[in-house]
């Protein structure tokens, strides 16, 4: 008989413990009026740094400061992209210019074309120890041929400069 009583007390204690354990932390929960309302009636909380658009880079000049870019000579043509400092313009459409550039690149001694992407208007080339892109872009005056590094910035160095000069001479660019 004694074992039945201790068994029933153990069951009752276990049930009481289960009820307390599953009730969550309601004893410790603080009441918050914002969360008592329906979700669609709650105010929208926006972190302080996200309530206005970022403006720190809004007036940045591509390629450095205004004084540095004003003192740097560029070869960019009117109607050419402002970020391209090493290039020339060809008359005609972009696809024809892309094909002409490809023919000249294929005949250039010491140049390896790693890949070509006509939809992007780009040749990935290796020339004089440098890897860079020859990009053909559509502009108002026709097609603009430029040398850019893999980040899209104007390519620097002897290789890109010589190759653009050779392309300009071979294709009659302006």
Each residue of 66-106: pLDDT tens digit? 444 444 444 444 444 443 447 889 888 889 999 999 999 89
> What are the φ and ψ backbone dihedral angles of 131, each rounded to 5 degrees?
-105, 125
Q: Mind listing the pLDDT tens digit of every residue in the chain (174 residues)?
A: 667 778 888 888 888 777 777 666 555 555 666 566 777 776 766 666 666 666 666 666 665 544 444 444 444 444 444 434 478 898 888 899 999 999 998 988 888 889 988 888 889 999 888 888 989 988 888 899 999 887 878 888 888 888 888 888 888 877
Which pLDDT score is estimated for 66?
Answer: 45
Burial (CB < 10 A; 0-12, 13-18, 19+), residue 130, is middle
Which pLDDT score is estimated for 154?
Answer: 86
| Inter-residue contact 136 to 144 (CB < 8 Å) | yes
Report the C-alpha gap between 17 and 22 in whole angstroms.
9
Report the C-alpha gap between 124 and 157 in whole angstroms.
16
Report the C-alpha gap between 87 and 20 in whole angstroms.
76
């Amino acid at each position: 008989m004694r074992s039945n009583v201790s068994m029933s007390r153990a069951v009752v204690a276990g049930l009481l413990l289960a009820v307390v354990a599953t009730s969550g932390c309601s004893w410790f929960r603080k009441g918050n009026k914002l969360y008592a309302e329906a979700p669609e009636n709650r105010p929208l909380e926006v972190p302080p740094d996200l309530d206005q658009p970022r403006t720190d880079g809004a007036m940045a000049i591509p390629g450095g400061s205004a004084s540095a870019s004003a003192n740097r000579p560029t070869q960019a043509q009117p109607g050419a992209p402002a970020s391209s400092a090493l290039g020339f313009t060809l008359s005609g459409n972009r696809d024809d210019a892309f094909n002409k550039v490809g023919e000249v690149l294929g005949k250039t001694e010491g140049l390896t074309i790693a890949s070509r992407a006509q939809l992007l208007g780009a040749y990935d080339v290796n020339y004089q120890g440098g890897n860079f892109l020859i990009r053909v872009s559509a502009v108002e005056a026709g097609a603009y041929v430029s040398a850019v590094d893999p980040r899209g910035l104007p390519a620097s160095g002897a290789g890109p400069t010589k190759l653009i000069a050779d392309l300009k001479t071979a294709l009659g660019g302006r």
